[in-house]
Amino acid sequence: MSASIQMDFENTRVMLRVCRLDKEEVRGVDLLREKRWHMMDVHEKHDDGKRGRYDEYLRRHMVYHLTREGRLPPRGSVKDRLLYKDAIHLLELLISSGVDITDRVVGRFVELKNDHVVSLELLFNTAVHQVRNEFSALEVLCPSGYVYTYDPASIFASEIGATLLNRLMLAGLRCVSDSSSFANMRIFGFNDYADQGAVALVSRALTNQKHVQVVRKADLFRGSGGKYDIRHHDKAVGAMLVVHNNSDGFGQNIETEGDFGSLDGAIGCNSSSAASLFRLREDLLDNIL
């Protein structure tokens, strides 16, 4: 299982609410410096008024830390917007080049196909943190090496599009790879069933990781009935198989779905994950990295 929480674009809430531009400026605030700030308890969260204000403060906290200026401008003030296809083209160029991606996305905004305008800078920085968190954990948890497989999000990409979401993830991967060593990663397998150009981009994103073999995920599952088969992949011998599971947190799906409902259900039914993620455990968050 993966060690990151997927950017949730299933609807107009969650991540789209964080990164989209509104009629008014969104000025960020660092909640860690706010003496009045406290985490709401379960009962307080059932008060819609309090919960709305609470969520807005969390949004402003993220805006503060994920944009260089600590703010999102009013939508009407942004004239130079990237079209959807142009944003994808820009990210592909940045992934493939040797330039600093961070500086190239500051103050850039994308007009989505659903008419929302979002901050490319905020989304890129979110992807960087996701990649850094996940691979920092895997490097520690898999000292004997790991084979990493990635399936693009589908439901979670509804409002932003899977192609753009994939490019953001790969841009984050390029950025972290440029400054870090994925010493224990052996193979990166990308499921390109709906994104035929992605595997080549993964290779470019991992240019500095000369020891990592980049393959199509399907190449690792050529055994009988689609089973994992490493007979043609020497680098995989002795390594742990890591399945990046597009999750929105400590998922109920892993606890409740059947074997054939989704990847969540398959993991829940065929591993100890459901017990590990049992939400009543008092120690559940004790080892967050």
Considering only the C-alpha atoms of the chain, give the largest distance between any 2 of them, rounded to a whole number of Å. Answer: 59
| Structural domain range at position 47 | 26-72
pLDDT given for residue 244 in this prediction = 87
Whether the Cβ atoms of residue 50 and residue 40 lie closer than 8 Å to each other = yes
Q: What is the DSSP string of 48-83?
A: HHHHHHHHHHHHHHHHHHHSTTSEE--GGG---PEE
pLDDT given for residue 35 in this prediction = 75
User: Would strands 82-83 and 71-72 be described as parallel, antiparallel, or unpaired?
Assistant: unpaired
> Is there a domain that residue 271 lies in?
no
Looking at the structure of the chain, the number of domains it has is 1
> Mean pLDDT in each 10-residue stretch from start to end of the chain (289 residues)?
78 93 94 82 87 91 96 94 96 93 95 95 96 92 95 89 95 96 97 91 97 96 92 94 78 74 77 71 66
pLDDT given for residue 249 in this prediction = 63
> Is there a domain that residue 218 lies in?
no
> Is there a domain that residue 166 lies in?
no
Please identify which residue in the block is written with the tokens 């400590």: 250
> Is there a domain that residue 99 lies in?
no
> Is there a domain that residue 42 lies in?
yes
Three-state secondary-structure class, residue 91: helix
Three-state secondary-structure class, residue 203: helix
- The secondary element (H helix, E strand) that includes residue 190 is strand 185-190
pLDDT given for residue 1 in this prediction = 63
> Is there a domain that residue 239 lies in?
no
> Is there a domain that residue 235 lies in?
no
From first CA to last CA, the distance across the chain in angstroms is 15
The CA-atom distances, in angstroms, between 231 and each of 29, 76, 227 are 53, 57, 12
> Is there a domain that residue 40 lies in?
yes
